[in-house]
Amino acid sequence: MTDDVLHKQLAHPLQSTHLSSFGERYQGKVRDTYRQGDRLILVTTDRISAFDHVLPQTIPFKGQLLNQTAAYFFETTEDVVPNHVIEVPDPNVTIAQACSPVPIEFVVRGYLAGHAWRAYDEGARSLCGQELPDGLTESAPLPSPILTPTTKAESGHDQDVTREEAIAGSDLTPSEYDQLAEWALSLYARGHEMAAEQGLILVDTKYEFGRTPDGDFVVIDEVHTPDSSRYYYRDGYEERLEAGEPQEQLSKEFVREWLMENGFQGGEDEQIPDMPDEFRLTVAKRYIELYERVTGQTFVPDTHPDPEERILEALTDA
């Protein structure tokens, strides 16, 4: 894709939708959700969030890239765990089965990175009840993947919890929690295997689950996308690890790093910096690269001048 196509898309962002004929809108950090009976219409916008805040500027094609990446992984992991997808009628839209969300995010970590590394570097050796050995370095593989659940906060920061705290803070029975924990670890194993086939390392990721009206559990939200996952390039990983150098990664972490460099880490007294257009284009290119690397498919952008009009037409025909 040419830089010209990306630059032109800055003028046609899908920042929010107003599809009142499809139900009342619930606006999440990056998705607008509409409920029609037992179906949810999930519209993935071009919004981007970090440190539990929605940033002021959008990222060209991010909604399409995120929705299509999630759709790809939902399809390629449905033999591991059932999911909520009914159909994908538009590049930015997924129609899904309505569920009662489980108020826990199931974070699986195979490597010591991000929040886990920062806590470890400050001396923590237990994370969500999972004991970590001494002597690990940043980005090092863990002895085996671990589950580090968090609360799902409506606003503010999610909080790490142990298995017992997760069960106590939800309507899950211990056996139900253990089933979802096993599913999360199985999904991570599949994602790690698929990433390796594309020359990548799935470092960590999160999964969300919902309970259907029949009482069954399914995975919801998204799977193995750059918004929910961290990827490293496998080429050169061992050499960088040995030298203590930062890993080359495909994830949203570099957006967080840019924000930190510009004085924002989510604090109440901190001002979210504006992203310059050139940085927005850089972020878009990262998302495109990740989509193409993890799926093995070429990204075909939808350059409709009015994305909401296109979505409305697609939903009318669905």
The answer on 245 and 123 residing in a single domain is yes
The answer on 112 and 94 residing in a single domain is no
The answer on 22 and 154 residing in a single domain is no
The answer on 224 and 198 residing in a single domain is yes
Give residue 153's pLDDT.
62
- Which mean pLDDT values do the consecutive 10-residue runs of the chain (318 residues) have? 86 92 91 93 95 93 95 97 97 96 96 94 95 96 97 70 94 96 98 95 97 96 90 96 92 87 92 95 91 92 93 89
Query: What are the distances in angstroms from CA 13 to CA 2, 60, 223, 300, 305?
Result: 17, 6, 24, 17, 9
The answer on 136 and 276 residing in a single domain is no
Q: Which of 202, 224, 250 is the last residue of a domain?
A: 250
The answer on 121 and 183 residing in a single domain is yes
Phi, psi of 288 (to 5 degrees): -65, -45
Q: Which of 196, 223, 250 is the last residue of a domain?
A: 250
CA atoms within 13 A on the CB side of 296: 8
Structural domain including 69 reads 3-98+254-317
CA atoms within 13 A on the CB side of 32: 20
The answer on 267 and 246 residing in a single domain is no
Domain at 176, CATH number: 3.30.470.20
Q: Measured between alpha carbons, how far is 194 from 267 in angstroms, rounded to an integer?
A: 36
Exposure letters 267-297 (e unless 16+ CB within 10 A, then b) = eeeeebbebeeebbbbbbbbbbebbbbbbee
The answer on 194 and 85 residing in a single domain is no
Longest pairwise C-alpha distance within the chain = 58
Give residue 260's pLDDT.
94
The predicted-structure confidence for 214-223, as pLDDT tens digits, reads as follows 999 999 999 9
The answer on 245 and 173 residing in a single domain is yes
Phi, psi of 90 (to 5 degrees): -150, 150
Domain count, the chain: 2
The answer on 10 and 38 residing in a single domain is yes
Domain at 312, CATH number: 3.30.200.20
Give residue 226's pLDDT.
81
Nearest in space to 16 (alpha carbons), one of 3, 36, 34: 34
Query: What are the distances in angstroms from CA 307 to CA 14, 55, 258?
Result: 6, 20, 28
Total Cβ atoms within 10 A of residue 26: 11
Q: Which of 208, 223, 250 is the last residue of a domain?
A: 250
Total Cβ atoms within 10 A of residue 1: 16
The answer on 157 and 41 residing in a single domain is no
The answer on 305 and 237 residing in a single domain is no
Query: What are the distances in angstroms from CA 45 to CA 64, 92, 194, 265?
Result: 8, 7, 26, 23
